[in-house]
Amino acid sequence: MAPQLVIDSHIHLWPEETTNEESHAWMTPGMPLLKPHLLRDYCDASERGGQSESVVVKGVVYVETDVCYDAPHGDLATWAKGPLDEILFLRRVMEGHYAKRDSSVLLGLVPWAPMDQPTAVLDEYLTLAKDMAGPQAWPRIKGFRFLLQSITDQTEFEKLVFSDAFIANLQLLGKRRFSFDIGVDQHSGGIWQLEGNAKAMKMAHRGVSDDEKVTFVINHLCKPNFSGGQEFERWCQAVSAMAKCSKSYMKLSGAFSELPRELKSTSEIAEHLKPWLTHVLACFGPSRIMFGSDWPVCNIGGPAGESSWTAWKDVVKLVLDDPAYSLSVNDRQRVWNGTAAEAYRLC
């Protein structure tokens, strides 16, 4: 049987020059991620026990890596130099400075955007991003992300996401045919992040024509608290509210970072995930769920170290092949590649 073609909707890359605490505050001495990660490294990881067996990666979507930037003041190109340099790195990848095949693998780009700033600043940033990306990389920019999960004070979080400027920024992305990747975190942030985000999504679509509504791509199952109980019920309610928003999609990604460390085998992990995935499948359906590896972050909490891309692929395959879900061949294909192609408008 022919291998399953996969679009990996969530990977991260960074070059040697940004592998430090000055460029990424979360990079601390001694951590495994403190080294360059390029597309050739990703291809090595995905081919290690992966592509030779059941899947072949046909392309990937790059998502911003939370690079450092200065407090907003004065010239935008100066204080946002870090994120703009990240786009320049992606331009160099697309132009073949690292490997010739990179441009054929890197199907979509989701860089950072200043969503917490006035809409005039976002508008100016989009112009700077286009200039920095150049004619080869700019068409691959399909959306933007601003990590909401890093705002751990509920009052500050809600002040931003319910603000006129934030809602207007989401609407501007929609008018420009860009998506917005949502990063919220029940486990480390709080369930209120998910609940506030669901409300903001609804606000951003209110009164907007269908063709100009921003597409929402929700990352990592919203990083659940996998202990269950009352926290599970509130997670279910928040996810249901997000799913009711049109043009919203969920990434089947990022679970390794939040799962209990005692889970070692892919079958144990797939079984543990069942309550959450059952709910996501019921709310979004396979037509709005996409595979994402979260490479190389998956290597940190993953059960197979540097081979955790393959482990996550195996977990997803176990889930999609589980008779309990009664997924058709077309359903499984949507999760592996079709949903990502639709949500990010990939060629």
pLDDT mean over 159-166 = 98
**Size of the chain, expressed as the number of residues it contains:** 347
Given a cut of 60, whether residue 51 has pLDDT beyond it is no
DSSP string, 292-307: ---BTTHHHHSTTGGG
Q: Which of 26-30, 46-50, 285-289, 297-301 has the lowest mean pLDDT?
A: 46-50
Q: What is the pLDDT of residues 129-162, one digit of tens each?
A: 999 999 999 999 999 999 999 999 999 999 999 9
Stretch 174-188: mean pLDDT: 98
Q: What is the pLDDT of residue 119?
A: 98
Nearest residue to 276 (alpha-carbon basis) of 341, 187, 183: 187
Least Cα distance to 339 among 291, 294, 269 occurs for 291
Q: Across the beta sheet with 4-11, what order do the strands follow?
A: 4-11, 55-63, 106-110
pTM, whole model, 2 decimals?
A: 0.97
- Mean pLDDT of all residues in 57-73: 98
| Tokens 């495994």, located at residue | 32
Taking a C-beta distance cutoff of 8 angstroms, is the pair 220, 186 a contact? no
Whether the pLDDT of residue 316 is over 90: the answer is yes
Share of residues in the chain with pLDDT > 70 (%): 98
Nearest to 82 by CA among 115, 121, 129, 124: 129
Q: What is the mean pLDDT of the chain?
A: 96
Residue 1 pLDDT = 72
What pLDDT sits at residue 116? Answer: 98
Query: What count of other Cβ atoms lies within 10 Å of the Cβ of residue 109?
Result: 27
